[in-house]
Chains A and B, each alone.
Chain A
Amino acid sequence: DVKVTQSSRYLVKRTGEKVFLECVQDMDHENMFWYRQDPGLGLRLIYFSYDVKMKEKGDIPEGYSVSREKKERFSLILESASTNQTSMYLCASRSVSYEQYFGPGTRLTVT
């Protein structure tokens, strides 16, 4: 079974803090993704990566950056957290047949 893990299930940070969300997958997938999910807005793609050290902006990259130094690990960084970044953050990795597998999510609250 594909396993995607995320570093924290719940996180509370203060406005202005730098926040790191880590994601690890164990299936040697090349493609990894970061989404946020908010009520009424569905899943929105923040950033994705097709290979180590490669990154591409998704639909809502503003206020975020990413890092992919190793194939199995994809990190999302909030440079200066703001209250409008309070959300559920979901990492995913994808197989060559386009089947995408999600981690359990990190529920981030910025106060």
Chain B
Amino acid sequence: RKEVEQDPGPFNVPEGATVAFNCTYSNSASQSFFWYRQDCRKEPKLLMSVYSSGNEDGRFTAQLNRASQYISLLIRDSKLSDSATYLCVVNSLEGYSTLTFGKGTMLLVSP
């Protein structure tokens, strides 16, 4: 069974801190990887895709390690508005290529 595992947290950090989340996936056929952000009682929103060479979007850096089957998200200079649940998502090209969502890691940034 395809699975995506995340530490549920919560991760409690002060403003300005750097925080990192990891996610592991079990399906070695996974080809596409994403991080989504979900605010309380809202829909998930795409934060960033994760590319093989790693990629950065402002304060956010995503890394992929195919050999160990894990994905990471690094947030630098945390803001209060970064408080949310971060979902790790993988896609397999097997079958109908549905996305598999992790249950999320909760981040709480405090003043």
A interface list, Cβ under 8 A from B: 33, 40-43, 45, 48, 50, 56, 58, 90, 94, 97-105, 107
Q: Which residues of A have CB within 8 Å of B91?
A: 98
Q: Which residues of B have CB within 8 Å of A45?
A: 98
* B96 close to A100 (CB less than 8 A): no
* Apart from the given pairs A98-B34, A101-B46, 6 other A-B contacts in the complex at a CB distance below 8 Å: A50-B96, A56-B96, A98-B32, A98-B97, A100-B99, A107-B41
* B96 close to A99 (CB less than 8 A): no
C-alpha spacing A103/B45, complex, angstroms: 9
* B96 close to A90 (CB less than 8 A): no
Chain A contact surface mostly:
strand
What are 23 A-B residue pairs whose CB atoms fall within 8 Å in the complex? A33-B98, A40-B103, A41-B103, A42-B101, A42-B102, A43-B87, A58-B98, A90-B43, A90-B44, A97-B32, A98-B32, A98-B97, A98-B99, A99-B34, A99-B46, A100-B46, A100-B99, A102-B45, A103-B43, A104-B42, A105-B42, A105-B43, A107-B41
* B97 close to A42 (CB less than 8 A): no
Given that A42-B103, A43-B101 are contacting pairs, would A102 and B96 also be in contact in the complex, using a CB cutoff of 8 Å?
no
Q: Which residues of B have CB within 8 Å of A102?
A: 43-45
Q: Mark B28-68, 1 if CB is under 8 A from A, else 0.
A: 00001010000001111110010000000000000000000
C-alpha spacing A33/B97, complex, angstroms: 12
